[in-house]
Amino acid sequence: MNSAPQLAPPLEIHDLTVAYHKKPVLWGVDVVVPRGQLVGIVGPNGAGKSTLIKACMGLVPSSSGWVKMFGLPLAQAVRRIGYVPQRESVDWDFPVNVMDVVLMGRYGRLGLLRRPSAADREVARACLDKVGMLPFADRQIANLSGGQQQRVFLARALAQEAELYFMDEPFAGVDAATESAIITVLRELRDRGCTLLVVHHDLPTAREYFDQLLLLNMNVVAFGATKDVFTTDLLQRTYGGRLTILSEVAHAVGATERAEAP
Amino acid sequence: MRIFAVRHTRGILLALLALAGAATAHAARVSDFGTVEWSEQITRFFSLRDPSVRYAVVGAVLIGICCGVLGGFVVVRRMALVGDTLSHAVLPGVALGFLWTTSKDPLAIFVGATVAGLLGTATVRAITATTRLKEDAALGLVLASFFAAGACLVTMIQRLPTGNKSGIDKFLFGQAAAVGRDDVVLMSVVAVLVVALVTAFYKELLVASFDRGFARAGGLAVVWVDRGLMLLLAFSVVVALQAVGAVLVSAMLITPAAAAYLLTDRMHRLLWLAAIFGVLAGLLGAFFSFIGNNLPTGPLMVIAASVVFAGAFFFGPRHGVVARWWRQRDHAARTQRENTLKALYRVCEERDFVGEGVTYRALAERRGETAAEAQQQGRALIAHGLATVADRTIFFTPEGRRRAAEIVRNHRLWELYLTNSANIAADHVHEDAERIEHVLGEEAVRELERRLNYAERDPHGRRIPSAAEIHQNAGHSRAPDLGQR
């Protein structure tokens, strides 16, 4: 191992371009994410939010640019990465129970030919407990609500014991209780020094939840501390002429200004 | 040839493919074994005296294991059509392997068939990657074209003047009796490979099948998992060809695993069950093929597997049709009893609980039914210990009285909750409460009570029996003895 990882940022994206069928989806993305940050990736539908985190993890091929994690190429940093995919990406009728799914978070550490040990099960149980799903450990995953399924995915990511997390819309279609449970866990991770990149679709809560925001619409419109970036001007540039979202933005910004007024 | 052609018309399955040679061999076999008694055949089968029977039995077991275990992954990964295409695409390879050695050399056929099968799946991938066609169209296309090429080649081989060509026709519908020593050796190798690799890489297969993206992000080379699985599938299909036949071998992949899928919610149990069902189907197919004068084995195995599937479909303890029907019926009967209890309670309530017992006539009037129906409901209550009957009058048992008050309480609490919390008009809530009252659990009722501040009257001004009241009543309000009346 070289000495760079000690000082290197958890994530450095340099001039990343991704194209589907020669049509660019992401274009010249340059981002350096510092350690211990809870970063929200925000932008309109089709802005390439999911594509960005998938490209970072090598799940979609990039046509140019590079990504380094902790100063290392992906293949060498893969054990230090955790991932929460979109809930719709899997078949929830699959014959596994909650415990089986969470244990999958341990597979990367186990390596080939080794089965999860009692210690791995203990870790998995602790992770389930953290998201309030321990009583459901033996439940078949089809018999869970959407919010519970999302918590199971989060528990699996916790079981990865990573330092850099990518989460694809973890708040999509969950109940209020799950939403607050998830954000609590994310903040805990951040306070322990983890770095989290979270794809998020709801602007008003984005302002409240994240330390930093990455405003994305095919390329990076802005990246910085939430209070600096969450402005009408920048959001308008991110969302273009979408009127319904603009009014939502105006409302959210208004709320910020009112809150800061006194 | 002419005589054979006449007999040919009897074999509907064979006529479908119009392969004259297949009929020739079939007819010859019937004349060979036609005189042997069934009982004698059964004894021959179970004694395992004949080497051909031994090979057939061992082969059926090995095929059942391979197809069952891999079929489990085929079903959960939604690759059923891929399996079907693979199994049909191997046929030209079988024929070419045969032509190469001009004999039924298992190894040459194995190599030819595996290459053809993998070429077929590669063609599917090439079509989907380079055109707008979706996978199902590409699969159908490759299945048909490869199989057509195979069928032509097989027919040509049968017309060749030279070489030992007996047995080539059996690759279509399978013949366990044609399984030889070399075939069994090959099957054993594949079965050991399948079981060893699936056991060793179980967790990789599991995570790659459940959540591809997560597996890849975790550093797993999912592409190699796919390729490995595809190769094992090709091997299993190819060694199963001799016994099951190209036409139906995909059913041996899908049917046992589909039956197992209906019975369990855990992957490792699914694989075990699928392997057991596969072995069962294989053995039954081999058995009936043998005692039925060497009927084609493949169809018989698949019928056996389908019977197992039908069993799981109808009689599965959790998801089975019968179990579900039974639960529905049970629920309907309970609802009916509870409605009767409620009606009895209402009759008592209307006369301020003065006097005990409700006549059948009063009950029938209350529910707008005939006296006969009221009697039938009374009998249902008696059978469940909720009431006793004397002189055409129904009396609550303590349990019945308690349950009746509970249902009335559930109903009225729910009505009140809907009018108070959901702002639904008082005359709209009855229908909903009629359904909810039967499914409200103890905890939900407590919660409702708390939220409603232990209200005593429902939206229609009727009293809500309290929990305390129900438990007290259970103690002392009982039906009088028959003698006392």
* pLDDT at residue A247 tops 60: no
Q: A159: closest CA among A136, A183, A115, A129?
A: A129
The two most distant CA atoms of chain B are separated, in Å, by 103
Tokens matching residue A58: 């090598």
Helix (H) / strand (E) element for B395: namely strand B393-396
Out of B201, B204, B210, whose CB is closest to A96? Answer: B210
Task: Give the residue-averaged pLDDT of A129-144.
Answer: 93
- The shortest C-alpha distance from B241 to chain A (Å) reads 29
Helix (H) / strand (E) element for A39: namely strand A38-42
Task: Give the residue-averaged pLDDT of A78-85.
Answer: 94
- What 8-state DSSP symbol labels residue B429? S
Out of B203, B209, B216, whose CB is closest to A107? Answer: B203
Q: What is the pLDDT of residues B244-254, one digit of tens each?
A: 988 899 999 99
Q: For chain A, where are the alpha helices, taking DSSP H only?
A: 49-56, 74-77, 98-110, 118-130, 146-159, 176-191, 203-209, 226-229, 232-239, 243-260
Residue A241 pLDDT class (50, 70, 90 cuts): low
* Mutant choice from A74, A102, A107 vs B, greatest count of B C-beta within 10 A: A107
Q: Please tell me the predicted confidence (pLDDT) of residue B77.
A: 94
Q: What is the pLDDT of residues B78-88, one digit of tens each?
A: 999 999 999 99
Q: Please tell me the predicted confidence (pLDDT) of residue B38.
A: 75
Out of A79, A85, A95, whose CB is closest to B211? Answer: A85
Question: Are A94 and B264 contacting, i.e. CB atoms less than 8 angstroms apart?
Answer: no
Task: Give the residue-averaged pLDDT of B108-127.
Answer: 93
Q: Which of B227-231, B443-447, B468-472 is predicted least confidently?
A: B468-472
Share of chain A above pLDDT 90, in %: 67
CB within 8 Å of B139: residues ≥ 6 apart: B81, B82, B84, B85, B124
Q: Which of A183-192, A195-204, A219-228, B458-467 is predicted least confidently?
A: B458-467
Q: Please tell me the predicted confidence (pLDDT) of residue B26.
A: 43
Q: Please tell me the predicted confidence (pLDDT) of residue A245.
A: 54
- What 8-state DSSP symbol labels residue A79? G
Within 13 Å and on the Cβ side, how many CA atoms surround B321?
Answer: 6
* pLDDT at residue B238 tops 70: yes
Indicate the pairing of strand A81-84 with strand B387-390. Answer: unpaired
- Collapsing DSSP to helix, strand or coil, B246 comes out as coil
A91 and B210: CB-CB below 8 Å?
A: yes
Q: What's the Cα-to-Cα distance from B452 to each of B85, B321, B427, B467, rounded to whole Å?
A: 62, 41, 19, 14
Q: In what order do the strands lie in the sheet with B393-396?
A: B358-359, B393-396, B387-390
The C-alpha atoms of residue A96 and residue B418 are separated, in whole angstroms, by 38
The C-alpha atoms of residue A114 and residue A107 are separated, in whole angstroms, by 8
In B340-366, which positions are buried (b, 16+ CB within 10 angstroms) versus exposed (e)?
bbbbbbbbbeeeeeeebbbebebbbeb
Task: Give the residue-averaged pLDDT of A120-133.
Answer: 95
Radius of gyration (C-alpha) of chain B in whole angstroms: 34
CB within 8 Å of B456: residues ≥ 6 apart: B463, B464, B466
Q: What is the pLDDT of residues B198-208, one digit of tens each?
A: 999 999 999 99
pTM score? 0.80
Q: What is the pLDDT of residues A88-107, one digit of tens each?
A: 999 999 999 999 999 999 99
HEC sequence for A211-258: CEEEEEECEEEEEEEHHHHCCHHHHHHHHCCCHHHHHHHHHHHHHHHH
Q: Find the residue in B nearest to A153 (Cα).
A: B214
* pLDDT at residue B367 tops 80: yes
Q: Which residues of A touch B258 (CB under 8 A)?
A: none
Radius of gyration (C-alpha) of chain A in whole angstroms: 19
The C-alpha atoms of residue A129 and residue A159 are separated, in whole angstroms, by 11
* pLDDT at residue B31 tops 60: no
Q: Please tell me the predicted confidence (pLDDT) of residue B290.
A: 86
Residue with tokens 């940022």: A9
Q: What's the Cα-to-Cα distance from B148 to each of A157, B12, B154, B170, B302, rounded to whole Å?
A: 49, 19, 10, 16, 22
Tokens matching residue B368: 């707008």
Residue A10 pLDDT class (50, 70, 90 cuts): very high
* Mutant choice from B73, B211, B216 vs A, greatest count of A C-beta within 10 A: B211
The C-alpha atoms of residue B402 and residue B410 are separated, in whole angstroms, by 12
Task: Give the residue-averaged pLDDT of B131-158.
Answer: 92
Question: Are A30 and A226 contacting, i.e. CB atoms less than 8 angstroms apart?
Answer: no
Task: Give the residue-averaged pLDDT of B43-54.
Answer: 83
Q: Which residues of B touch A140 (CB under 8 A)?
A: 265
Beta bridge partners of A216: A220
Q: What angle do CA B310, B312, B314 make, to 5 degrees?
A: 65
Q: Please tell me the predicted confidence (pLDDT) of residue B36.
A: 57
The C-alpha atoms of residue A114 and residue A106 are separated, in whole angstroms, by 11
Q: Please tell me the predicted confidence (pLDDT) of residue A243.
A: 46
Q: Please tell me the predicted confidence (pLDDT) of residue B479.
A: 40
Q: B286: closest CA among B36, B60, B42?
A: B60
Task: Give the residue-averaged pLDDT of B222-226.
Answer: 94
The C-alpha atoms of residue B103 and residue A87 are separated, in whole angstroms, by 54
Question: Are A195 and A164 contacting, i.e. CB atoms less than 8 angstroms apart?
Answer: yes
The C-alpha atoms of residue A39 and residue A178 are separated, in whole angstroms, by 19
A94 and B214: CB-CB below 8 Å?
A: no
- What 8-state DSSP symbol labels residue B457? B
* pLDDT at residue B477 tops 80: no
The B residues from 202 to 241 touching A (CB cutoff 8 Å) are 203-204, 206-207, 209-211, 213-220
Helix (H) / strand (E) element for A17: namely strand A11-20
Question: Are B97 and B246 contacting, i.e. CB atoms less than 8 angstroms apart?
Answer: no
- Collapsing DSSP to helix, strand or coil, A81 comes out as strand
* pLDDT at residue A262 tops 50: no
- The shortest C-alpha distance from B274 to chain A (Å) reads 13
The C-alpha atoms of residue B251 and residue B416 are separated, in whole angstroms, by 56
A104 and B211: CB-CB below 8 Å?
A: yes
Out of B203, B213, B219, whose CB is closest to A85? Answer: B213
A17 residue type, one letter: T
Q: Find the residue in A nearest to B201 (Cα).
A: A113
Q: Which residues of A touch B211 (CB under 8 A)?
A: 85, 89-90, 104
Helix (H) / strand (E) element for B417: namely helix B398-421
Helix (H) / strand (E) element for A199: namely strand A195-199
Q: What is the pLDDT of residues B318-354, one digit of tens each?
A: 888 888 899 999 989 998 898 888 888 888 888 877 7
For residue B92, count other CB atoms closer than 10 A to its CB. 27
In B455-480, which positions are buried (b, 16+ CB within 10 angstroms) versus exposed (e)?
beebbeeeebbebeebeebbeebbbe
* pLDDT at residue A163 tops 70: yes
Task: Give the residue-averaged pLDDT of A56-79.
Answer: 92
Task: Give the residue-averaged pLDDT of B20-30.
Answer: 41
Out of A78, A95, A97, whose CB is closest to B219? Answer: A78
Q: Find the residue in A nearest to B223 (Cα).
A: A59
Question: Are B150 and B91 contacting, i.e. CB atoms less than 8 angstroms apart?
Answer: yes
- Chain B touched by A83 (CB under 8 Å): yes
Residue A18 pLDDT class (50, 70, 90 cuts): very high
Question: Are B440 and B433 contacting, i.e. CB atoms less than 8 angstroms apart?
Answer: no
Q: Please tell me the predicted confidence (pLDDT) of residue B453.
A: 79
Residue B143 pLDDT class (50, 70, 90 cuts): very high
What angle, 0 to 180 degrees and rounded to 10, lies between the N-to-C axes of helices B38-47 and B267-291?
130
Residue A252 pLDDT class (50, 70, 90 cuts): low
Q: Contacts by B346-352 with C-beta closer than 8 Å and gap 24+?
A: B346/B408, B349/B408, B349/B462, B349/B463
Task: Give the residue-averaged pLDDT of B150-165.
Answer: 80
Q: What's the Cα-to-Cα distance from A201 to each of A41, A44, B383, rounded to whole Å?
A: 8, 8, 58
Out of B203, B214, B266, whose CB is closest to A97? Answer: B266
* pLDDT at residue B156 tops 90: no
Question: Are B55 and B183 contacting, i.e. CB atoms less than 8 angstroms apart?
Answer: yes
ipTM of the complex: 0.89
The C-alpha atoms of residue B255 and residue B235 are separated, in whole angstroms, by 19
The C-alpha atoms of residue B83 and residue A156 are separated, in whole angstroms, by 31
DSSP string, B264-284: -SSHHHHHHHHHHHHHHHHHH
Q: Please tell me the predicted confidence (pLDDT) of residue A250.
A: 58
